[in-house]
Amino acid sequence: MKARVTVTLKNGVLDPQGKAIEGALKSLGVEGIDGVRQGKVFDIELGTADKTQAEAQLKAACEKLLANTVIENYRVEIV
Protein backbone atom coordinates (compact mmCIF):
# COMPACT_ATOMS: atom_id res chain seq x y z
CA MET A 1 0.00 0.00 0.00
CA LYS A 2 1.21 3.50 -0.74
CA ALA A 3 0.50 6.64 1.18
CA ARG A 4 1.28 10.31 0.93
CA VAL A 5 1.82 12.42 4.03
CA THR A 6 1.70 16.19 3.66
CA VAL A 7 3.14 18.36 6.42
CA THR A 8 2.32 22.06 6.42
CA LEU A 9 2.93 24.94 8.79
CA LYS A 10 -0.01 25.87 11.00
CA ASN A 11 -1.83 29.08 10.27
CA GLY A 12 -0.18 32.02 11.96
CA VAL A 13 3.31 30.46 12.00
CA LEU A 14 5.69 32.72 10.11
CA ASP A 15 7.16 31.04 7.05
CA PRO A 16 10.19 33.02 5.88
CA GLN A 17 10.97 30.43 3.19
CA GLY A 18 7.47 30.72 1.75
CA LYS A 19 7.82 34.51 1.77
CA ALA A 20 11.13 34.30 -0.10
CA ILE A 21 9.58 31.99 -2.71
CA GLU A 22 6.63 34.35 -3.05
CA GLY A 23 9.07 37.23 -3.62
CA ALA A 24 11.00 35.20 -6.20
CA LEU A 25 7.82 34.36 -8.11
CA LYS A 26 6.89 38.02 -8.19
CA SER A 27 10.35 38.99 -9.43
CA LEU A 28 9.98 36.38 -12.20
CA GLY A 29 6.82 38.11 -13.33
CA VAL A 30 4.47 35.28 -12.34
CA GLU A 31 1.24 37.12 -11.72
CA GLY A 32 -1.68 36.49 -9.42
CA ILE A 33 0.28 34.98 -6.49
CA ASP A 34 -1.22 36.23 -3.24
CA GLY A 35 0.77 34.05 -0.88
CA VAL A 36 3.05 31.00 -0.66
CA ARG A 37 3.46 28.58 2.25
CA GLN A 38 6.12 25.90 1.99
CA GLY A 39 5.51 22.37 3.26
CA LYS A 40 6.83 18.83 2.90
CA VAL A 41 5.53 15.71 1.15
CA PHE A 42 6.48 12.14 2.13
CA ASP A 43 5.61 9.23 -0.17
CA ILE A 44 5.55 6.14 1.99
CA GLU A 45 5.37 2.43 1.13
CA LEU A 46 3.55 0.27 3.66
CA GLY A 47 3.73 -3.49 4.07
CA THR A 48 0.15 -3.91 5.18
CA ALA A 49 -2.96 -4.22 3.00
CA ASP A 50 -5.21 -3.29 5.93
CA LYS A 51 -6.28 0.34 5.61
CA THR A 52 -7.12 0.81 9.30
CA GLN A 53 -3.74 -0.56 10.34
CA ALA A 54 -1.99 1.61 7.74
CA GLU A 55 -3.73 4.72 9.03
CA ALA A 56 -2.70 3.94 12.60
CA GLN A 57 0.93 3.38 11.50
CA LEU A 58 0.98 6.62 9.53
CA LYS A 59 -0.51 8.58 12.41
CA ALA A 60 2.23 7.23 14.69
CA ALA A 61 4.88 8.17 12.10
CA CYS A 62 3.53 11.72 11.92
CA GLU A 63 3.15 12.24 15.65
CA LYS A 64 6.53 10.72 16.52
CA LEU A 65 8.71 12.16 13.79
CA LEU A 66 7.39 13.53 10.52
CA ALA A 67 5.62 16.58 11.94
CA ASN A 68 6.47 18.82 14.86
CA THR A 69 2.95 19.46 16.04
CA VAL A 70 4.03 22.64 17.83
CA ILE A 71 4.14 24.37 14.44
CA GLU A 72 2.98 21.86 11.85
CA ASN A 73 -0.18 20.10 10.73
CA TYR A 74 -0.15 16.83 8.82
CA ARG A 75 -2.52 15.12 6.40
CA VAL A 76 -2.46 11.43 5.50
CA GLU A 77 -3.76 10.04 2.21
CA ILE A 78 -3.77 6.38 1.22
CA VAL A 79 -3.11 6.43 -2.53
Partner 1 sequence: MKSAVIVFPGSNREGDMVRALKLAGSDAQKVWHAETELPKGTDLVVLPGGFSYGDYLRCGAIAGRATVMDAVRAHAARGGLVLGVCNGFQILCEAGLLPGILMRNANLKFICHRQFLKVERNDTAFTKNYAKGQAIDVCVAHGEGNYTADAETLKRLEGDGLVAFRYSDAHGNVTADANRNGSMNSIAGIYSDKLNVLGMMPHPENLIEDLVGGTDGRGLFESLVSSFGKAA
Interface stretch with partner 1, choices 15-23, 27-35, 44-52, 53-61 (CB under 8 A): 15-23
Residues 8 and 62: beta-carbon distance below 8 Å: no
Are 61 and 6 spatial neighbours (Cβ–Cβ below 8 Å)?
A: no
Which position among 56, 59, 68, 75 is part of the footprint of partner 1 (CB under 8 A)? Answer: 68
Q: How many residues bind partner 1 (CB under 8 A)?
A: 11
**79: exposed, middle or buried (Cβ count in 10 Å: 0-12, 13-18, 19+):** exposed
Binding region for partner 1 (CB under 8 A): 13-14, 16-17, 20, 64-66, 68, 70-71
